[in-house]
Structure 1
Amino acid sequence: MAEAARSVSARANRGLPYEIVIWEILVRLPPKALLRCRAVCRAWHHATSAHDFLLAHHAHQPVLPVAFSRDVGYPSIVTFDHRAADAQLQRVTRLENRVCGLYYSCDGLLLLCSHDTTGTYFCICNPATRQSARLPIVSGYVILGMYRHHPTGEYRVLMYLENQEINGKDACYIFTLGSVQVQPPRNIGWQPEAKEVYCSSGQPVLLRGSLHCPSEQREIGSNNIVVFDTSTELFRQMRAPVAPVAPRYNALFEMDRVLGMYICSDGVTIIDIWMLLDYENEVWTFKCKIALPVTEINMMCGMLEGSRYAVVVPGNGELLVLVKFAGWLLQVDMDGKLVATFHRKEVFPTQLQLKQTLVPHAFFQH
């Protein structure tokens, strides 16, 4: 058996040095293909299971926009691969609970909210390895964000608890994933800016060791961003670009280590893109205005008018605009041209992105 394995390995590596095969070819494969390659021989299985290899493999994976699908009974996590010659939707994993919502994404991990006969609960999952773990967080907490705490390498969840009888006041909490002994969420006290994050519908963006979340613009000139420093565990506010009129909604994104914001007009016909090129002085620069091809979209979908929802996410060095309208998911480029269409009634774009990983985590082993 050992001789046969060495023979297979020799044929597989014929003409190529072992290091090239491992660190230039296998390290670039998608997770599913890499897992299949482990069956070729013991040498490949050993090399591709090492921690340093898995970190390098994760670094080579593309960052793809995430959509949430309900068109096949059980909900699914879907990625939009715009790099292919023909843009395509790819189902990453199907969720086991019909009542499930997608909250956050971090380093290939997804934070989900589900419901069963015991009530509402949160769970963490890795769609590449199909591992999941239920979080011991009691009902009543509102999750504001998930992040990797770089000084310790821990994955943490920032939570908010409204006025409850147990303590008589609002408070913020930190829950650490994968503690050796499961500890209750740690109370970091009450900070008024947390209420702004709680009321916001936008996804937080992790940049420079801080979570950034847009606050709701109640009047012209009042637009701000709430920032949570993951090291000091303190909130603060920073300036955001101000829309000339109250927007339908706005959201943040990060591209090339620069914070950006897109502002959708009422009716979602115009999207303004701003970039925070001077972070320290909080100076925003207007990047572009995208006019959605509303007439073309309406005609293609066979509708005169309807509710539109758009998200702007980075992808391969460029910004992607994904629009949900009627039973269609549409991609629009920065010039406002329709470049890809998918007739998927129950597929909804999100602000989340997924960079798949096979790196093991201790919290999946409890």
Structure 2
Amino acid sequence: MPDRRGATLLEDLPEDIINKILVLLPSKDVGRCRVVNTSMCSATSTPEFMLQHHRRQPSLPIVDGLGRPANHVVLGDAAAGASNQQLWPFLSSSKRSIENNLAAVCDGFLIVSWENKFYICNPVTRKHALLPQPQAGQYIRNIVVGFYRHHPTGEYRVLWVSGPDYSFISNLYVVTVGSDRPQCISVRLPAEEKLWNKLPSSNSSAVHHRGSLHWHPYGTNDITGDVRDIVVFDTETESFRRMHSPTQQCRYGNLFDMEGTLALWSGLVSKSTSMDVWVMQDYEAETWAFKYRIDVSMVETSRQLYLTSLKKKKSRPLESTVQLLNDMAVLNESELLIRFNCKHVLRCGIDGKFLGIVNIGKSQYQMFLTGHRLKESIVPIPGHEMQEDEEAPFSTGHV
């Protein structure tokens, strides 16, 4: 019913209209609505609503704040053609300093390691829980190499490499979030042990695409003798296979998702003057298409022209090589962030056009490009019986 001034209240609207309004709200505002009344709390707590809300959230690159306090990092208009872009900061908690490590991301959940402990966290709901590890012992090394949703069961599962420390002998384990019983899985691949033991040292985090996890570990073509050096883990059948890279010359590579398409960032050496980007043209046939090459010398020329056009003093030239090839984030289909060194991140277009330099030597932009992306989720952590630690293992600056 309208109030005494004749205004229509939110609760006067039909239920389906209310749900359509609530699902458009940011995650923080949904949380505020839940404390208004029981009806809003119920409406926003159904699995259907939470899934629909999650699907509408933008996918933001995660940057590591390296222990410095910050809120969401927003890269403003650095030049013509560059748009405002928001990055999600992963920050260490005050007591745990910079010892935290972001191990994996899936559906708005993070897996964070600290010393010998692993946590699953939801940065939006500020909830976290201690994860059981597949093996225990003073000289046992457990490493998270994958995190995924097993669609046949709806369970969230963690893929581990586990074995004696300083040893090449290890096993693969799958642990369901909310369960303390790890499952050992078998791998049917030629040279299988050497191959999947390289996953922990992969240049990039696992890329989710078409229901599988993808890695491009360094040196896999040295083991297999061919260009099938991309490791693929089918999350439904929980089995491994190999996939072709676009070129035999891809010694250093970094897989990433470019607006729903599997892409590869490659170079011949770790420090390169140019970087090639390939996109998957046909996933089933494993065929790739060359998309573009970014030449650092062209970027430097473009930068100096941009600064001159703004009548600014000519600045010191950039390094001629990219020092950290695997430190890159995709902002959208036409913009990339590339880490040059410990002080500068280059922002450029796919045509090599200069769009700005982010000085990460400044405290407000202190960051490391993690390769992970986050879509906010208000879904609770699975498994109510999971042990919770007293102090959150990380912070996000998301207040």
Residue 273 of structure 2 corresponds to which residue in structure 1?
A: 269
Distance 2:150 2:66 in 1: 33
Question: Quick one: structure 1 residues 12 and 303, their matched pair in 2 at CA, closer, same or farther if it must change by over 3 Å?
Answer: farther
Quick one: which of 351, 356, 359 aligns to 1:343? 359
Alignment-mate amino acid for residue 263 of structure 2 = G
2:142 touches 2:162 (CA, 8 Å); kept in 1? yes
Percentage of matched positions with identical amino acids: 32
Residue 241 of structure 1 corresponds to which residue in structure 2?
A: 246
Q: How does 1:205-354 map to 2 (within 5 A)?
A: 205-217=207-219, 222=227, 224-242=229-247, 244=249, 247=251, 249-264=252-267, 266=269, 267-292=271-296, 293-294=299-300, 302=316, 305=319, 308-309=323-324, 311-315=327-331, 318-324=333-339, 325-345=341-361, 346-354=366-374
1:65 touches 1:79 (CA, 8 Å); kept in 2? no
- Could you tell me which runs of 5 or more consecutive residues in structure 1 were left unpaired when the two chains were aligned: none
Question: Quick one: structure 1 residues 160 and 297, their matched pair in 2 at CA, closer, same or farther if it must change by over 3 Å?
Answer: farther
Residue 16 of structure 2 corresponds to which residue in structure 1?
A: 19
Distance 1:354 1:234 in 2: 26
The two structures have a TM-score, normalised by structure 1, of 0.80
Question: Quick one: structure 1 residues 334 and 256, their matched pair in 2 at CA, closer, same or farther if it must change by over 3 Å?
Answer: closer
Residue 197 of structure 2 corresponds to which residue in structure 1?
A: 195
Between 1:254-263 and 1:270-279, the stretch displaced more is 254-263
Alignment-mate amino acid for residue 234 of structure 2 = D
The two structures have a TM-score, normalised by structure 2, of 0.74
Q: 1:66 deviation in Å? A: 0.9
Tell me which protein shows more strand as a share of its residues: 1
Question: Quick one: structure 1 residues 169 and 40, their matched pair in 2 at CA, closer, same or farther if it must change by over 3 Å?
Answer: closer
Between 1:278-287 and 1:306-315, the stretch displaced more is 306-315
Query: Quick one: higher RCO (CA 8 Å, sep 6+), 1 or 2?
Result: 2
- Which digits, 9 at most, give the CA deviation of each residue in 1:272-322, with x for residues without a partner? 111222222211111222234245669987465375435554555x15411
Distance 1:356 1:301 in 2: 39
User: Residue 122 in 1 paired to residue 118 in 2?
Assistant: yes
Distance 1:352 1:122 in 2: 17
Alignment-mate amino acid for residue 286 of structure 1 = F
Question: Quick one: structure 1 residues 354 and 16, their matched pair in 2 at CA, closer, same or farther if it must change by over 3 Å?
Answer: same
2:65 touches 2:92 (CA, 8 Å); kept in 1? no
Distance 2:76 2:152 in 1: 34
Alignment-mate amino acid for residue 322 of structure 1 = L
Residue 360 of structure 1 corresponds to which residue in structure 2?
A: 380
Distance 1:281 1:332 in 2: 31
Distance 2:210 2:273 in 1: 32
2:72 touches 2:86 (CA, 8 Å); kept in 1? no
Secondary structure in 2 aligned to 1:62? coil
Secondary structure in 1 aligned to 2:199? helix
RMSD value over aligned CA atoms?
A: 3.6
Secondary structure in 2 aligned to 1:20? helix
Q: How many residues end up aligned between the 2 structures?
A: 348
Question: Quick one: structure 1 residues 168 and 86, their matched pair in 2 at CA, closer, same or farther if it must change by over 3 Å?
Answer: closer
1:67 touches 1:80 (CA, 8 Å); kept in 2? no
Residue 68 of structure 1 corresponds to which residue in structure 2?
A: 64
- Which digits, 9 at most, give the CA deviation of each residue in 1:148-205, with x for residues without a partner? 111111111111124579x9943211111112xx22x222246423123234222112
Residue 147 of structure 1 corresponds to which residue in structure 2?
A: 148
Quick one: which of 10, 24, 31 aligns to 1:28? 24
2:272 touches 2:323 (CA, 8 Å); kept in 1? yes
Q: 1:359 deviation in Å? A: 1.0
Alignment-mate amino acid for residue 142 of structure 2 = Y
- Could you tell me which runs of 5 or more consecutive residues in structure 2 were left unpaired when the two chains were aligned: 308-313, 387-399
Q: How does 1:87-98 map to 2 (within 5 A)?
A: 87-89=85-87, 91=89, 95=93, 97-98=96-97
Secondary structure in 2 aligned to 1:277? strand
Distance 1:349 1:175 in 2: 28
Question: Quick one: structure 1 residues 297 and 110, their matched pair in 2 at CA, closer, same or farther if it must change by over 3 Å?
Answer: farther
Quick one: which of 127, 132, 136 aligns to 1:136? 132
Question: Quick one: structure 1 residues 333 and 164, their matched pair in 2 at CA, closer, same or farther if it must change by over 3 Å?
Answer: closer
Question: Quick one: structure 1 residues 80 and 107, their matched pair in 2 at CA, closer, same or farther if it must change by over 3 Å?
Answer: farther
Question: Quick one: structure 1 residues 89 and 55, their matched pair in 2 at CA, closer, same or farther if it must change by over 3 Å?
Answer: closer
1:146 touches 1:157 (CA, 8 Å); kept in 2? yes
